[in-house]
Amino acid sequence: MADAASYEYDLFVIGAGSGGVRAARTAAAQGARVGIAEDRYLGGTCVNVGCVPKKLYSYAAHFHDTFDDAEGFGWELDAPARFNWSTLRENKKGEIKRLNGIYQRLLENAGVTLCNARAKVDGAHSLTLFSDQGEQHITAEKILVATGGWPWVPDFPGAEHVVDSNQVFDLDRFPERFLVLGGGYIAVEFASIFNGLGSETHLIYRRDLFLRGFDDEVREFTRDEMERKGTHLHFNTHISRIDKGSNGYRVTFTDGKTLEVDAVLSATGRRANVEGLGLDTLGITLDAQGKIPVNERFETAVPSILALGDLIDGPELTPVALAEAMQLTGLHFTPEPPEPLDYSRIPTAVFCHPNIGTVGLSEEAAREQHGSIRVYRTDFRAMQHTLSGSQERTLMKLVVDDASDVVLGAHMVGDDAGELIQGIAIAVRAGLTKADFDRTVGIHPTGAEEFVTLRTPDRR
């Protein structure tokens, strides 16, 4: 193996998304010579076609309910509110362009060499960059692949008519009739968004209930609230075919039903974005889950080639990619190895309407792993809806180990659930007990105080 000084870079990163940029900046801060290649957009999925625009669109969709609720509080709207799709779309583009510039400055200020090029791995320590200026061959002691995921669309007649979760933000016209295919968090979020923006919205999923892997009570409660808000849910069926007509698309389901819509979103998941990277020529292949296998040091089958984020097994979440980037650089570029990451108590949110926030074990997983548990739960009509007239309800739930009294999981469905669970996640991560929750004085009047006033188990 060549001496590290003989390579042009100590670390070269392929992909300037959240994980790749964090790894590049952190390694550079430790004195490493770092380069990064990106051929699409700085900030990756999260900034450009994921978390950021999705949350902006979710904010936009919430105004529909806000306008409806305002009358009960004395606000008189002289004319019906109107939604302008192009205004939201173009303002979103402006915000993303601003964030792209921030990512570029972060890399430049860290001393990272940014290459606007497509990269292909040639060997354990070599790459070729392809750009408008031609080809460039470079060497690096370590190569980090951080190219994230890419949407995939199931194969059925007429599949060419669907849009994916990258394209849905920039539709030319607002769809008055909208269909979402899928049952993951992307699917339920976009169904809620377009329903809130005013579309007649449908969601179709091949199983009996969406959000597989989440707490069952949370899934059922979310289903009921989404239907209450007007989203049409179709379970245990799939798209058989899509035919383009003079006035939109005719969608035929496998159960024989048909639906006329203006747009169909395929939100059936994302797959590792490794096409054309050359990894397979080095013996680096995807496992049965479609992920790149790595060890605890994020090393692939070729130890000098690393991978993180959505490419490897684990939660497909931006904060996880950021944490993995910090872990990776700590392992490879600092003398003291960091503590291993704890993947068991990572909080997450689903920005459907109402929001879901969750951390720790579901009730089902807790019963399987711990046997005897206590479940504390409440559902209620939030204070703001006593005057608004809205029938929306909130669910809060704690799952507690009966033997140790440790809170194993906390779950919420309701307004700002993600904001609230972020704080609760600290308590769950710290292994606090139900008695610790009980000794905490609540803030009144808030919905959040319910988490520290639950006294009687709903079930054991």
Q: Within 10 A of 459 (CB to CB), how many other CB atoms are there? A: 9
Q: How far apart are CA 199 and CA 176, in angstroms?
A: 5
| DSSP conformation letters of 86-115 | HHHHHHHHHHHHHHHHHHHHHHHHHTPEEE
237: tokens are 């069926």
Q: How far apart are CA 98 and CA 4, in angstroms?
A: 37
Q: Within 10 A of 345 (CB to CB), how many other CB atoms are there? A: 16
3-state secondary structure of 276: coil
Instruction: Identify whether the C-beta of residue 185 lies closer than 8 Å to the C-beta of residue 367.
Output: no
Q: How far apart are CA 64 and CA 198, in angstroms?
A: 8
- 126: enclosing H helix or E strand: strand 126-131
Neighbouring-strand partners of residue 265: 163, 180
Backbone angles phi, psi at 97, to 5 degrees: -60, -40
The DSSP 8-state label assigned to residue 61 in this structure reads: H
Instruction: Identify whether the C-beta of residue 17 lies closer than 8 Å to the C-beta of residue 309.
Output: yes
Closest CA to 12 of 29, 37, 30: 37
Q: Are strands 356-360 and 407-413 parallel, antiparallel or unpaired?
A: antiparallel
Beta strand segments in 198-292, E: 200-205, 232-235, 239-245, 248-253, 258-261, 263-266, 270-272
Closest CA to 266 of 194, 177, 166: 166
**Cis ω before 354 (30° cut-off from 0):** yes
- Which positions are annotated as active-site residues? 444
Which residues contact residue 239 at a Cβ distance below 8 angstroms, ignoring those fewer than 6 apart?
154, 156, 181, 204, 251, 252, 253, 254, 264
Whats the size of the chain, residue-wise? 460
55: tokens are 């949350």
Cα distances (Å, whole numbers) of residue 85 to 57, 88, 91, 197, 394: 10, 5, 10, 9, 29
Residue appearing with tokens 């076609």? 49
